[in-house]
Every structure is written in structure tokens, then in C-alpha cells.
């Protein structure tokens, strides 16, 4: 507002100076005529002095405004250089801290834009523009945009958290938001998975961070849980030795932690062993399938009976019905 008022004053003074200068010149020219009295010459001199005074004020205003404009230009030039320097230093620091490569250029650009906004506001303030109202308008606009895009902003914030804290990486097999698959890409707004059936799944990052994240890859090892059943008539100690020999023969099973073989339950028709070996994550399913087959084959070769649920049915009849059945 002050800048506008000063501009109006400047234009008014310039116009007045031109009018006074023109009037003074005309009167001075007329004063050379013998028909013009001495009073006209005095009036022309007064107008000329007023015009000179107004022009002096205009010159002072021009000098003052010129200094402000030069200062604003210097602020813009130096501010842009400082903004580039800050964004570059931020990028180097993030790279040194091993922040995800997807996030580094985004933070660099965000830092530069924030510095640029600050520099522009400072330059306008140097010229004399009232920046309080401008900041209020920008704040209101930012609030309106934030409310309109709150879902997208939530996904964006969650994406930044995922890229910074890294609960999973590309290539990990995870279960998030009720779906599971191998992570193919982590974007700022969503995460892309491929499930075991090679189906592409795109999960918004807001849903990723709002629930539990199961990462099956990050620890490097997994435990296989199997249940092996033998008959009540079988030798449990021998069954344990047979199971342990099958585990020892598979080189993919890790010695540490040691595999667990223990009787877990006396079921209705069987004695149940739990078999829990540890393997590398990449070997989990191959070892799981191979052990299931080998344990069944080896136990049968050693004479063990793998029981299955059976039912015995007893029919009670009276004497007359029994006689009829026998005669039939």
C-alpha cells in the first residue's frame, strides 16, 4: 500500500512540475512583451521556483526508489545463489547419510523452492511492499490446497517416512495392508508389489504406514514349521532319530540355530512331532517342499505308520432283528 501511495504521489508531483514549468515558461515569454506589467514577471518567477522545488522532491524520490530497487535486485541475486548452495549441501548430506536416491532430488528441489519463496518475500519487503498481507494470502491458499489434497498429502508424507526409515526395500517380500508380494518399487505416493501369481499390486503409502508391516526378507533367515505324525504303536525315539537324520542330510538347513524336533501333542489317532529347522530366506519354500516329501518317504521306508483319522461304527440291534439278519 505504501508503495502504491508513493507512486501516485510521484506521478502527481511530476505532472505538477510539468504544468508549473510550462506556465512559468509561458509567463516568462509573455513578460518580454511591453504590454505585460511587472506583476506578471513576479508571478512567473514564483511558478518557476515552485516547479524547481517539486522537481527536487521528485529527484529525491527517484534516488530513494532507485536504491530500494537495487537492494531488491541484490537480494534476489544473492538469495538465488544461497538457495542453490543450501540445496546442494542438503543433497550431499542426504547422500552421505545413505538416504534413498528417490528422495534426495525431491528434498533438494523442496529446499531450493522454500529458499526462493523466502528471498522473493524479502525482496518485496526491501522495495516497500507490505508482505504481511501477502504471507497471509499464501498461508490461506496453502491451507485450502492442503484440505483439498489431504489424501494425497497423507500418502506423500507416508512415502517420505518409508524412504527415510526404510521398513522394507526393493526386492523384499512383505505383507502390507492385507496383501503380500515382492516389492518392485517405492514411490513417493505409492508402493508397487508383485504377488506370487505375478499380479501387480499398487498400495497407497498412507495404507502402508497405517497398518502392520510384515517383512519376510529383512532378517535373512526363516524358520520352517512342519508337523510329522506317527502311530501310537511306533517307537518315538527311533522316529526322532530318523527325522533328525533327514534334517542333517540337507545342507541347506542351518546348524545355528539348531533344528528343533520334539513331541508336541498326543492327538486322537497319532503322536505328533514338531519339526522346526532354520534356513536362508531364499531357501524357505524349496526346503519346505523337499522336507515334506522326504520325511514321508523315509518314515515309510523305516516301517513307521503315518496314521490318519478313522472312525469305528457299532450297530446295536435287538434279538429278533439279529435273527432276521442271520437268516438273510
**pLDDT tens for residues 167-218?**
998 899 999 988 999 999 888 888 999 999 999 999 999 999 888 999 999 9
Q: Judging by DSSP bridges, how do beta strands 179-186 and 173-176 pair with one another?
A: antiparallel
pLDDT of residue 81: 87
Domain 227-301, CATH: 3.30.70.100
Looking at 2.30.30.60, 2.40.160.40, 3.60.110.10, 2.40.37.10, the CATH number of the domain 167-215 comes to 2.30.30.60
Closest CA to 173 of 136, 134, 209, 201: 201
Domain range list for the chain: 2-134, 167-215, 227-301
- Predicted TM-score (pTM) of the model is 0.58
Cell of 144: 485450502
Averaged confidence pLDDT in the chain? 78
Asked if 56 and 17 count as a contact pair (C-beta separation under 8 A), the reply is: no
- Mean of pLDDT values over 123-148: 71
Number of other CB atoms surrounding residue 109 within 10 Å: 12
* DSSP sequence for 101-130: TTHHHHHHHHHHHHHHHHHHHHHHHHHT--
CA distance 38 to 47: 15
**pLDDT tens for residues 57-73?**
666 655 566 667 777 78
**pLDDT tens for residues 291-309?**
999 999 999 999 998 887 6
Asked if 283 and 223 count as a contact pair (C-beta separation under 8 A), the reply is: no
Q: Is the pLDDT of residue 29 over 60?
A: no
Q: Is the pLDDT of residue 220 over 60?
A: yes
Amino acid at each position: 500500500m505504501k508503495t502504491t501511495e508513493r507512486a501516485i504521489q510521484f506521478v502527481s508531483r511530476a505532472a505538477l512540475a510539468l504544468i508549473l514549468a510550462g506556465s512559468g515558461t509561458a509567463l516568462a515569454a509573455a513578460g518580454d512583451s511591453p504590454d505585460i506589467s511587472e506583476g506578471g514577471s513576479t508571478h512567473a518567477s514564483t511558478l518557476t521556483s515552485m516547479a524547481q522545488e517539486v522537481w527536487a522532491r521528485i529527484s529525491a524520490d527517484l534516488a530513494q526508489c532507485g536504491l530500494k530497487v537495487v537492494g531488491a535486485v541484490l537480494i534476489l541475486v544473492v538469495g538465488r545463489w544461497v538457495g542453490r548452495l543450501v540445496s546442494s549441501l542438503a543433497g550431499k548430506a542426504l547422500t552421505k547419510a545413505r538416504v534413498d536416491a528417490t528422495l534426495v532430488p525431491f528434498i533438494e528441489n523442496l529446499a531450493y523452492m522454500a529458499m526462493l519463496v523466502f528471498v522473493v518475500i524479502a525482496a518485496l519487503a526491501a522495495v516497500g511492499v507490505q508482505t504481511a498481507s501477502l504471507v497471509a494470502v499464501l498461508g490461506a491458499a496453502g491451507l485450502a490446497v492442503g484440505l483439498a489434497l489431504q489424501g494425497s498429502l497423507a500418502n506423500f508424507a507416508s512415502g517420505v517416512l518409508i524412504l527415510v526409515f526404510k521398513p522394507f526395500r526393493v526386492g523384499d517380500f512383505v505383507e502390507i495392508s492385507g496383501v503380500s508380494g515382492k516389492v518392485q518399487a517405492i514411490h513417493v505416493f505409492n508402493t508397487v508389489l508383485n504377488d506370487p501369481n505375478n499380479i501387480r499390486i499398487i498400495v497407497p503409502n498412507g495404507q502402508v504406514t497405517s497398518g502392520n508391516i510384515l517383512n519376510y526378507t529383512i532378517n535373512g533367515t526363516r524358520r520352517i514349521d512342519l508337523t510329522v505324525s506317527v502311530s501310537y504303536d511306533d517307537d518315538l525315539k527311533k522316529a526322532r532319530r530318523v527325522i533328525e537324520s533327514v534334517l542333517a542330510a540337507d545342507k541347506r538347513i542351518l546348524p545355528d540355530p539348531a533344528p528343533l524336533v520334539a513331541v508336541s501333542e498326543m492327538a486322537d489317532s497319532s503322536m505328533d512331532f514338531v519339526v522346526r529347522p532354520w534356513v536362508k530366506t531364499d531357501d524357505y519354500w524349496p526346503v519346505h517342499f523337499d522336507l515334506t516329501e522326504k520325511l514321508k518317504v523315509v518314515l515309510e521306508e523305516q516301517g513307521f505308520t503315518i496314521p490318519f483319522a478313522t472312525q469305528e461304527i457299532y450297530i446295536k440291534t435287538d434279538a429278533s432283528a439279529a435273527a432276521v439278519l442271520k437268516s438273510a
